[in-house]
């Protein structure tokens, strides 16, 4: 059974890059009937916070990326917070020392910093010089007896190279001379990323590690750790980074970068998932709009591109609009209910007859919305009894007092019109305009501003039908009074 994991660090909210990585893992697991593990890498205790953990979990839930093992669920490999697994890392580091794959390092941080700065001043690269590797057993015993603080470093083999197969980039090799003896356990007893991630992935039986390209340089060190522990290697797939429109790494200067910000702005999770899936992955054809089920059916690691992906906000808006159009009006109503209640929607609006009218209104206006929040002002005329008319719209289409008698005749005609549907309404308006010797457009624009308060709306005849006779007549009467 395939087992994949997403292991965010709660030093910030869920970034869109992390969300894309989580999505790729989740899609692969769901396609292959495996297990998706959510693990919180919170060993950076100074920067991690419970608020960030909560934010990450909320964003994962909003995206619909449910996990099979992890926080609030548990599982056979609990705990799923690294701060609850410190003893495991310390025991693993001790075993590596005992087997000769690691050694104690008593070097003081200030001394290491001085050596590094001296090398930089000389224009040379510095790697750890294995000072503590050369200590005799008596010297080690003396330092241990005195309680000197010490880290544990992994002993990189002399000569040779480490290689691994990447499912995206192919075979990757690194010469051992380019890997220093890296720290696996700090002097404060906390593991470094390299040790904790390998111990956790081994313990949790992770079969595939799918993560960002920025981890490629970490992988040779981790391969060495797997081998030293006698563990099998997982399959590795390093996915392209997400860049901003300027082809630089996505950051705050490009706008919102956390998933929570996009949720607050009115984007649909369906659209965000669709958009993120296509940042670095392709189904192999020109299709762009996918449901979640379609993405699961199509996703493969082989479809991941080796090139960096560009985050295009305009494209995200397009995806959001496409998914709004796909979303049933009843579902939209449920998601918008708090916002609609804030502008006057009452519980009575959910009675069967009123509900049907509101659903029709949503279907009528949703082609004009890029975000869910865009629907709120568009739906206002269908919800509230009193409307505010845009001054510019009134000045342009509802200020000519000569329109008053024409509008009065049109209002009287509408009041007694039967049947009351869009086609009959349109025919009646054009008949009134022709009989009164005015352009139909003038009456159409005046009617639109009168009943919606806006210069732009869906087709005015459909609006009048969905709005209902009573509200339409009442607002036309108000418009006549404006022209009086």
Read off the pLDDT of residues 245-274 as tens digits, 9 standing for 90 and up.
888 888 766 666 899 999 988 899 999 999
| pLDDT value at residue 360 | 93
What is the pLDDT averaged over residues 203-221?
97
Per-residue pLDDT band for 308 (boundaries 50, 70, 90) equals confident
Residue ranges with strand state E in 350-441: none
Decide if 80 is inside a domain.
no
Q: 177 and 143 in one domain?
A: yes
| pLDDT value at residue 432 | 97
Q: Could you give the CA distance from residue 416 to residue 405 in angstroms, rounded to a whole number?
A: 17
Two structure tokens written together for 444: 């159409």
Q: 232 and 112 in one domain?
A: yes
Could you give the residue numbers annotated as active site?
252
| pLDDT value at residue 384 | 82
Decide if 81 is inside a domain.
no
DSSP letter (8 states) at residue 150 = -
Answer yes or no: is pLDDT of 350 > 60: no
Q: Could you give the CA distance from residue 323 to residue 267 in angstroms, rounded to a whole number?
A: 10
What is the pLDDT averaged over residues 228-244?
95
pLDDT digits (tens, 9 = 90+) for 134-144: 999 999 999 99
Task: Write b or e for each residue in 293-316: b if 16 or more Cβ atoms lie within 10 A of its Cβ, otherwise e.
Answer: eebbebbebeebeeebbbbeeeeb
Task: Write b or e for each residue in 237-261: b if 16 or more Cβ atoms lie within 10 A of its Cβ, otherwise e.
Answer: bbbbbbbbeeeeebeeebeebbbee
Least confident of 111-115, 275-279, 316-320: 111-115
Note whether 92 and 229 are within 8 A (CB). Answer: yes
pLDDT digits (tens, 9 = 90+) for 309-326: 899 999 999 999 999 999
CB count in 10 Å sphere of residue 1: 9
Note whether 469 and 425 are within 8 A (CB). Answer: no
| pLDDT value at residue 60 | 97
Per-residue pLDDT band for 346 (boundaries 50, 70, 90) equals low
Q: Which are the contacts of 451, defined by CB distance < 8 A and separation ≥ 6?
A: 381, 460, 463, 464, 467, 471, 472, 475, 476
pTM: 0.89
CATH of the domain at 410: 1.10.10.350
CA–CA–CA angle 298, 301, 302 (5° rounding)? 90
The per-residue pLDDT of the chain, averaged, comes to 93
Phi, psi of 277 (to 5 degrees): -60, -35
3-class DSSP assignment, residue 326: helix
Answer yes or no: is pLDDT of 17 > 90: yes
Per-residue pLDDT band for 239 (boundaries 50, 70, 90) equals very high
Residue ranges with strand state E in 249-358: 309-310
* Boundaries of domain holding 362: 328-382
Q: 333 and 321 in one domain?
A: no
Cα 111 to chain centroid distance, Å, stands at 43
pLDDT digits (tens, 9 = 90+) for 22-53: 999 999 999 999 999 999 999 988 889 999 99
CATH of the domain at 91: 3.40.50.620
Could you please report the per-residue DSSP string of 294-319? Answer: HHHHH--GGGB-SSPEE--HHHHHHH
Q: 212 and 151 in one domain?
A: yes
pLDDT digits (tens, 9 = 90+) for 147-193: 999 999 999 999 999 999 999 999 999 999 999 999 999 999 999 99
What is the pLDDT averaged over residues 355-364?
90
Q: 246 and 235 in one domain?
A: no
Of 369, 293, 314, 292, the C-alpha closest to 336 is 369
| pLDDT value at residue 254 | 67
Decide if 406 is inside a domain.
yes
Percent of residues, the chain, with pLDDT higher than 90: 83
| pLDDT value at residue 193 | 96
Per-residue pLDDT band for 394 (boundaries 50, 70, 90) equals very high
- C-alpha distance from residue 48 to each of 11, 14, 20, 252 (Å): 4, 13, 21, 20
Q: 137 and 57 in one domain?
A: no
SS3 of 30-59: HHHCCEEEECECCCCCCCCCHHHHHHHHHH
Phi, psi of 249 (to 5 degrees): -55, 135
Answer yes or no: is pLDDT of 353 > 80: no
Q: Count up the domains in the chain and report the number.
A: 4
What is the pLDDT averaged over residues 338-356?
71
Per-residue pLDDT band for 347 (boundaries 50, 70, 90) equals low
Two structure tokens written together for 149: 């603080």
């Amino acid at each position: 059974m395939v087992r994949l994991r997403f292991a965010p660090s709660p030093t910030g909210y869920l970034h869109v890059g992390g969300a894309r990585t989580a999505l790729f893992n989740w899609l692969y697991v769901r396609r292959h009937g495996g297990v998706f593990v959510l693990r919180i890498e919170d060993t950076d205790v100074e920067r991690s916070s419970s608020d960030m953990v909560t934010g990450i979990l909320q964003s994962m839930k909003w995206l619909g990326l449910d996990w099979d093992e992890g926080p609030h669920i548990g599982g056979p490999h609990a705990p799923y917070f690294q701060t609850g697994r410190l003893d495991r890392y310390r025991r693993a580091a001790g075993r590596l020392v005992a087997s000769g794959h690691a050694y104690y390092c008593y070097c003081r941080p200030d001394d290491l910093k001085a050596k590094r700065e001296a090398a930089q001043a000389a224009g040379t690269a510095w790697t750890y010089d294995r000072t503590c590797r050369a200590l005799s057993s008596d010297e080690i015993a003396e330092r241990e007896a005195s309680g000197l603080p010490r880290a544990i470093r992994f002993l990189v083999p002399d000569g040779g190279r480490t290689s691994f197969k990447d499912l995206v980039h192919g075979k990757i090799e690194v010469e051992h001379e380019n890997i220093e003896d890296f720290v696996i356990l700090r002097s404060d007893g906390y593991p470094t990323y390299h040790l904790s991630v390998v111990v956790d992935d081994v313990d949790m039986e992770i079969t595939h590690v799918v993560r960002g390209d920025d981890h490629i340089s970490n992988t040779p060190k981790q391969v060495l750790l797997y081998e030293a522990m006698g563990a099998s290697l997982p399959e590795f797939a390093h996915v392209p980074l997400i860049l901003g429109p300027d082809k630089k790494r996505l950051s705050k200067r490009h706008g919102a970068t956390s998933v929570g910000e996009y949720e607050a702005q009115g984007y649909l999770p369906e659209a965000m998932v669709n958009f993120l899936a296509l940042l670095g992955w392709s189904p192999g054809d020109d299709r762009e709009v996918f449901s979640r089920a379609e993405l699961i059916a199509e996703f493969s690691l082989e479809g991941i591109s080796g090139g960096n992906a560009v985050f295009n906000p305009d494209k995200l808006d397009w995806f959001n609009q496409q998914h709004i159009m796909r979303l049933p009006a009843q579902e939209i109503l449920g998601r918008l209910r708090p916002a609609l209640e804030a502008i006057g929607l009452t519980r009575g609006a959910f009675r069967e007859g009123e509900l049907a009218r509101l659903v029709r209104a949503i279907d009528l206006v949703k082609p004009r919305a890029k975000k869910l929040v865009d629907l709120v002002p568009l739906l206002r005329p269908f919800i509230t009894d009193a409307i505010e008319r845009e001054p510019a719209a009134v000045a342009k289409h509802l200020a000519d007092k000569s329109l008053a008698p024409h509008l009065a005749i049109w209002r009287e005609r509408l009041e007694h019109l039967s049947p009351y549907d869009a086609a009959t309404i349109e025919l009646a308006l054009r008949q009134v305009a022709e009989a009164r010797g005015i352009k139909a457009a003038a009456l159409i624009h005046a009617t639109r501003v009168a009943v919606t308060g806006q210069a732009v709306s869906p087709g005015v005849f459909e609006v009048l039908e969905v709005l209902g006779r009573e509200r339409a007549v009442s607002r036309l009467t108000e418009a006549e009074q404006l022209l009086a």
